[in-house]
Structure 1
Amino acid sequence: MIQRPSVSEFPEYYLPYVHLVPDGDLLETLKENLEKTISLAEGLSEEAGQSRYAPGKWSIKEVLGHMADTERIMSYRLLRVGRGDHTPLAGFNENDYIAAANFDTLSVKQIIEDFTAVRKATITLVNNMAEEAWERTGVANNSDISTRALAYIIAGHALHHLNIINERYL
């Protein structure tokens, strides 16, 4: 089982995400989160997917698209760090990604299919990662980070955004 990372294994700004991940099997958390995300999306109309809880905030479609984009990037980081690649990895600006993606022109179904594909790839990556890889560290966005921290950040980031959708949009 993947151990929860210590706070020295990732930048402090990820702490809220790591804290959201419940104790137990991280793979089960990733699978359960996928089911909850699919269930939430299946209950959304296209009109609801376009809703924003305040002017200038992302729509639900944009939040779901952001979840997929971020997981794709974080999983790539997990792969690189887990395989022992010490090349520093660049950061990214989520607002630039949202502006370029045009998620509001996609259907909720298309966005959730993308998130599902990304999450399934993350699950197989985590499941097949060598045991010794979880201790490895690398540099992403100019900060040291461990493989296991990346796995927890991925899970916590999705949990964070599902909480926001449920609290502020629905």
Structure 2
Amino acid sequence: MKPAITDYPEHYRNYVNLVPEGNIIEILESQLHDTKNLLADIKKEQADFRYAEGKWSVLEVVGHVMDTERIMNYRILRMARGDQTPLAGYDDEKYVEESNFSSRTIADLLAEWTVVRAATVALLKGLPKASWMKTGFANNGEFTVNSIAYIIAGHERHHVGLLKSRYMLG
């Protein structure tokens, strides 16, 4: 079930709104398949493309989405296990800068992302029903576990939309 707007900070509302109604685990499973189909056959020039100076390449966008998913998974784990320790945010620009994603191939990144998404799905499938509504604090805001699952899916949809509109893919 989609989270209530009170289940997460307003900053994430656009991501959650991008996710259709339905089973979030099934959405996450099918979503990666669709994204992989969009990116699997792009050429090196397309993978290195930046739509403007200072913007991320396609490779960096993929890496960023993957890094964010890992961080969100950690938040889910902590909150689902009842850990109320406030969790820090992260500097996505710094993560991309330090990543060296541009030296990798799209196939390599998509293979890694497949593993990351499998870990996301496995974590969510293993959660007791009561854990989905547990809350915690991250990046100066309060979240439910359920809302973070939707944020993961919406964050990917947001960036896939940018890959289509600004990077002219698909």
TM-score (norm 2): 0.96
Q: One-letter code of the match for 1:91?
A: G
CA-to-aligned-CA distance 1:119-169 (integer Å, 9 cap, x gap): 110011111111000110000012111100101001100111111101110
Cα offset, 1:118, TM superposition: 0.5
What's the counterpart of residue 35 of structure 1?
33
Matched, 1:151 2:152: no
What's the counterpart of residue 140 of structure 1?
138
Matched, 1:102 2:100: yes
Matched, 1:90 2:88: yes
Q: One-letter code of the match for 1:79?
A: L
SS at match of 2:147: helix
What's the counterpart of residue 21 of structure 1?
19
Q: Distance in 1 between matches of 2:111 and 2:7?
A: 32
Matched, 1:166 2:149: no
Unaligned runs of 5+ residues in structure 1 are: none
Q: One-letter code of the match for 1:145?
A: F
How many positions carry a matched residue from both structures? 168
Q: Distance in 1 between matches of 2:158 and 2:124?
A: 20
Unaligned runs of 5+ residues in structure 2 are: none
Q: Distance in 1 between matches of 2:30 and 2:39?
A: 14
Q: Distance in 1 between matches of 2:93 and 2:104?
A: 18
Q: Distance in 2 between matches of 1:78 and 1:41?
A: 27
What's the counterpart of residue 121 of structure 1?
119
* Structure 1 stretch displaced more, 26-35 or 12-21: 26-35
What's the counterpart of residue 73 of structure 1?
71
CA-to-aligned-CA distance 1:43-69 (integer Å, 9 cap, x gap): 211111000111111000000000100
Give the RMSD, CA atoms, in angstroms: 0.8
Q: Distance in 2 between matches of 1:158 and 1:103?
A: 17
CA-to-aligned-CA distance 1:98-125 (integer Å, 9 cap, x gap): 1000111111111111111111100111
* Structure 1 stretch displaced more, 68-77 or 38-47: 38-47
